[in-house]
């Protein structure tokens, strides 16, 4: 399995976002699934994050206009959830599960390896924008602990050695 890197749109490019026809037709299809426009908010935000890599204030504004709610409301929702990036993410976001089963099965060693290899702490990203480490809560894969989610993909039953080779593989894929 090869994890697709995130291509984050330049902040200047999404300072004032508008939706092109491709996005517009997808949004229209989503709206048909729900009796209210507001209910399409999470799916539309996902659509935006897949397209632009992150949710900029400009994108929030565009979504607000499209769904008929205020930008402040959108921001409230976006920041409630942990998975929406409100700043451009690295190409690979390494999310290390730190909750109980992973914690007792060696999550700390994985985190330590990442910190050592990449020279950054959880919450930080490498200077070249390749990697970012995040400590996250239970990923729901406890039977295969410890687990790291890289972008959309789960990597399970990890050891520091396996994580190390994954890191090398992702580094080469740049």
Partner 1 sequence: MSAEAVLLRARGNPSGRTLEAYLGAGGYEGLRKALARVPEAVVKEVSDSELRGRGGAGFPTGRKWSFVPKDHPGPRYLICNADESEPGTFKDRELIECDPHMVIEGIAIACWAIGAHTAYIYIRGEFVRWARILEQALDEARARGLVGRSILGSPFDLDIWVHRGAGAYICGEETALIESLEGKRGFPRLKPPFPAVVGVFGKPTVVNNVETLACVPHIMTRGAAWFASIGRSRNTGPKLYCVSGHVNRPGVYELPLGVTFREIIEQHGGGIRNGGKLKAFFPGGSSAPIMTAGDVDVRADFDGCAEAGTMLGSGGVIVFDESVDIVAAAANLAHFYAHESCGQCTPCREGADWCMDILDRMLDGHGRSADPDTLLRICRFASEGMTICPLGDAFALPISSMVTKFRDEFERRISTASPRPQKKLPALPWAGQRPGFGD
Q: Which is nearer to partner 1, 9 or 97 (CB)?
A: 97
Residue pair 44/30 in contact by the 8 Å Cβ criterion: yes
**57-67 and 41-52 helices, crossing angle to 10°:** 140
What's the closest the beta carbon of residue 68 comes to partner 1, in angstroms? 11
Q: Which is nearer to partner 1, 10 or 157 (CB)?
A: 157
Residue pair 75/81 in contact by the 8 Å Cβ criterion: no
Q: Which is nearer to partner 1, 40 or 168 (CB)?
A: 40
Give the three-class secondary structure for 66: helix
Report the interface residues with partner 1, using CB under 8 A. 33-36, 38-43, 45-46, 67, 69, 76-77, 80-84, 98-101, 103-105, 111, 121-123, 134-135, 137-145, 149, 152-154
What does the alpha-carbon distance between residue 25 and residue 2 come to, in Å, rounded to a whole number?
A: 29
What's the closest the beta carbon of residue 163 comes to partner 1, in angstroms? 17
What's the closest the beta carbon of residue 10 comes to partner 1, in angstroms? 23
What's the closest the beta carbon of residue 142 comes to partner 1, in angstroms? 4
Residue in this structure with the two tokens 């993410």, named with its chain if needed: 89
Copy the structure tokens of residue 101. 């089963």
Q: Which is nearer to partner 1, 77 or 164 (CB)?
A: 77
Q: Which is nearer to partner 1, 3 or 88 (CB)?
A: 3
95 Cα distance to chain centroid: 9
């Amino acid at each position: 399995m090869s994890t697709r890197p995130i291509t984050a749109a330049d902040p200047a490019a999404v300072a004032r976002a508008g939706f092109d026809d491709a996005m517009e037709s997808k949004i229209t299809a989503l709206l048909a699934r729900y009796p209210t426009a507001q209910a399409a908010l999470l799916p539309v935000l996902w659509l935006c994050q897949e397209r632009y890599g992150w949710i900029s204030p400009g994108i929030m504004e565009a979504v607000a206009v499209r769904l008929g709610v205020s930008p402040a409301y959108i921001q409230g929702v976006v920041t409630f959830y942990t998975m929406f990036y409100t700043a451009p993410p690295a190409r690979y976001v390494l999310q290390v599960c730190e909750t109980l089963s992973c914690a007792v099965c060696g999550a700390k060693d994985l985190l330590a390896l990442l910190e050592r290899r990449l020279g950054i702490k959880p919450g930080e990203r490498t200077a070249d924008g390749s990697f970012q480490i995040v400590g996250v809560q239970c990923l729901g894969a406890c039977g295969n602990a410890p687990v790291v989610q890289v972008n959309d993909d789960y990597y399970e039953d990890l050891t520091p050695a396996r994580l190390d080779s994954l890191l090398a593989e992702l580094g080469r894929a740049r």
